[in-house]
Structure 1
């Protein structure tokens, strides 16, 4: 029997299907709210996954992701190139071209990615590149590799995204501080909440936020929580960091939730948890509208002078 092509392989354990019926959020998000971290995957028959990938996801094509955003009340999004696509950005280019200006992108820049290719990515809406320091995704980039990317994106004002886990944020604190321009750390740095009071990663994370150039995605509460839904421990951490640096935090669904343990979270629940993560309407607007617009070069949202409406549902 002939083995299937690599891009046709069955999904890897840890890549479950998305939640089959996410609830409609009770929280009404401000206009121009942004999902600052999601992935578009496949269809593999059109956009094959990279032969060198370390996992195989279930397809989550652009139409599926757009339908989820409409369901959740999100009108903007930042699409992050997944490592399963490697440095082939065709799926990202396709999504951005179809996005009508409501999408931005984050690329994965390889050794052979040329300045001309980077300028084309910028033209269609890419505004950052990601560095993966997770061993299940790739070997951590060397300083020479990082400097090579920085040289090729020079002058574009791109964001550097850092994907680390647990104590690695403390290990790489000096490197993160040395990077030029704005840096954003993904998914609450995926810190370990087992001993939060004495956690050096949390100390490093807060110190980096205090530097003024480092931002944080308060996404991934389902990844960080040790309690399971509704992820109260991770929500409390996210809320404390939003209060700590309200002008440098953004949020994303992380849809379709690859490389996780157990079933995928309910994305409607994740939106409703924003009422606890950013409990004040002004904080919520910063988190969902103003900050992602500033970080990823979206047009400004509705005038602040109009005043934020209270996003909580009416009490009946």
Structure 2
């Protein structure tokens, strides 16, 4: 089936540089996606956007180029609740990938168990209004209760301005909760502003809440400029991510977000994104926890016991 990409949205960058930062052995890219290919895994009729194809083979080639050992592949909204593309990628990974699915209330226990056997370890609840239609919270809570029995967790995606109205629901979830991209703070308001302070307090009060300190390319106002020949882009996002890494060293994850859906102004160089890491995790110990220890504990616990 032929799909036409949403006009104005960029293709992923096909020539990523080689990072200068050497990732620790066993590093995990804990947030990435596969899109289609559309002729093999059609996009959902209810989708809000149509991306370019981004296959498992291209994802694994990027993994090797950047120096990662494993991936956590997150179901993209353009595929709705059909997780076939993610599960196919997991099957091709030789155990080097885990997945986050999207499911509906109608999913059966047998289907959940089959997903677990395939490598799914959580479900994503998306609250970004421009990307998904509203799902009743009682339905989401029911799903969370069912996946808790499998030892899965919930990944939540929202924008910082909406945290006050969502916080009670998040704190009632019966699982570990992983927040995408630091809750998308408005970096123009500053790391000491009320908005980010609320998110930090949310994590401080609830030990089951983790955060991905990822996606500076989505949050930055200053943009990808590297000053004076340095490879430190997205400088205005560094204080936010570094604060979470320092305050919650055992509950942070990092991922590329490849192939960077819905971007219109620029498409990041994934090598440059990897070189963002040592600016937010400044010691070898914190880098290891962020990239190896934490994601292994969450996604491959059987290998960490």
State if a TM-score over 0.5 links the two structures: yes
Supply the distance in 1 between the matched residues of 2:8 and 2:124 (Cα, whole angstroms): 21
Correspondence for 2:208 among 213, 223, 226: 213
Distance, in Å, in 1 between the alignment partners of 2:8 and 2:93 is 29
Which of 120, 125, 129 pairs up with 1:135? 129
Please, which of 52, 57, 60 is the counterpart of residue 54 of structure 2?
60
Q: 5 Å matches for 1:79-90?
A: 79-90=73-84
| Structure 1 residue 14 displacement after superposition | 5.5
Q: What is the CA deviation profile of residues 103-157 of structure 1, one whole-angstrom value per residue up to 9, with x for unaligned ones?
A: 0000001132222111110111100000000011212332211122123324111
C-alpha separation in 1, matches of 2:151 and 2:5: 36
Identify the match of residue 282 of structure 1 among 281, 285, 296.
285
Residue 261 of structure 1 pairs with residue 256 of structure 2? no
> Aligned pair in 2 of structure 1 residues 273, 154: CA closer, same or farther (>3 Å)?
closer
- TM-score, normalised by the number of residues in structure 2: 0.93
1:267-308 CA-partner distances (Å, limit 9, x unpaired): 00000110101110000000000000112235547x9xxxxx
In the alignment, is the contact (CA less than 8 A) between 1:19 and 1:266 conserved in 2?
A: yes
Aligned to 2:239: 236
SS in 1 for 2:262: coil
Q: Deviations over 1:182-226 (max 9, x none)?
A: 100001211111212564331221112212110000011110111
Aligned pair in 2 of structure 1 residues 57, 256: CA closer, same or farther (>3 Å)?
Answer: same
Contact residue 209 and residue 248 of structure 1 kept, 8 A: no
Checking the alignment, whether the CA contact within 8 Å between 1:173 and 1:204 is kept in structure 2 is no
**Pairing 1:37-52 to 2, within 5 Å after superposition:** 37-52=31-46
Q: Partner residue of 1:273?
A: 276
Stretch of structure 1 that moved more, 108-117 or 78-87: 108-117
8 Å CA contact 1:290–1:300 kept in 2: the answer is no
Distance of 1:155 and 1:183 partners within structure 2: 15
Cα separation, 2, equivalents of 1:213 and 1:300: 21
Residue range with higher mean Cα deviation, 285-294 or 90-99? 90-99
**Structure-2 residue corresponding to 1:225:** 220
- Label 1:298 to 1:256 Cα distance change in 2 as closer, same or farther (>3 A): farther
Corresponding position of 1:150: 144
Unmatched 5+ residue regions in structure 1? 1-6, 304-316
Provide the aligned length of Structure 1 versus Structure 2: 296
Change (3 A) 1:158 1:186: same
- Name whichever of 247-256 and 141-150 sits farther off: 141-150
> What's the RMSD between the two structures over aligned residues?
1.6
The alignment partner of 2:279 has SS state of: helix
Superposition pairs of residues 1-316 of structure 1, within 5 angstroms: 8-13=2-7, 15-196=9-190, 199-210=193-204, 211-229=206-224, 230-300=233-303
Task: Give the whole-Å Cα distance in 2 for the aligned partners of 1:286 and 1:165.
Answer: 26
Once residues 285 and 299 of structure 1 are traced to their aligned partners in structure 2, the CA distance between those partners, rounded to angstroms, is 18
Structure 2: how far apart are the matches of 1:179 and 1:154?
A: 9
Instruction: Sort the Cα spacing of 1:296 and 1:14 in 2 relative to 1 into closer, same or farther, 3 A.
Output: farther
